């Protein structure tokens, strides 16, 4: 069984990990102060477990990388 991995997306790895990925990618744009984001964390984690090997799951902290969230 493959181990679930959630990728921390940054300005350095976003394009390679998301835009040119060979498989689908779920991007979770979140912030530490965001209540709904915290509520969604278990759902995103579960999706990462369920779709391990078929889906890449990445998280963007929008406080650190607002420029990554702006286009979306």
pLDDT in tens, 10-22: 999 999 999 999 9
The mean of the pLDDT values for the chain is: 94
18: left (phi over 0), alpha (psi -120 to 50) or beta: alpha
For the chain, the domains span: 6-69
pLDDT of 5: 87
Q: What is the pTM of this model?
A: 0.88
Q: Are 67 and 11 in contact (CB under 8 A)?
A: yes
Q: What percent of the chain has pLDDT over 90?
A: 93
Determine which one of 31, 37, 55, 69 is catalytic. 37
Say whether domain 6-69 belongs to CATH 3.30.70.20.
Answer: no
Establish whether 37 is a catalytic residue. Answer: yes
Determine which one of 11, 21, 34, 50 is catalytic. 34
């Amino acid at each position: 069984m493959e181990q679930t991995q959630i990728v921390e997306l940054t300005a350095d790895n976003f394009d390679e990990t998301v835009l040119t990925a060979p498989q689908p990618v779920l991007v979770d744009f979140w912030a530490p102060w965001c209540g709904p984001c915290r509520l969604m964390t278990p759902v995103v984690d579960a999706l990462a477990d369920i779709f391990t090997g078929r889906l890449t799951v990445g998280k963007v902290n929008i406080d650190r990388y607002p420029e990554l969230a702006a286009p979306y």
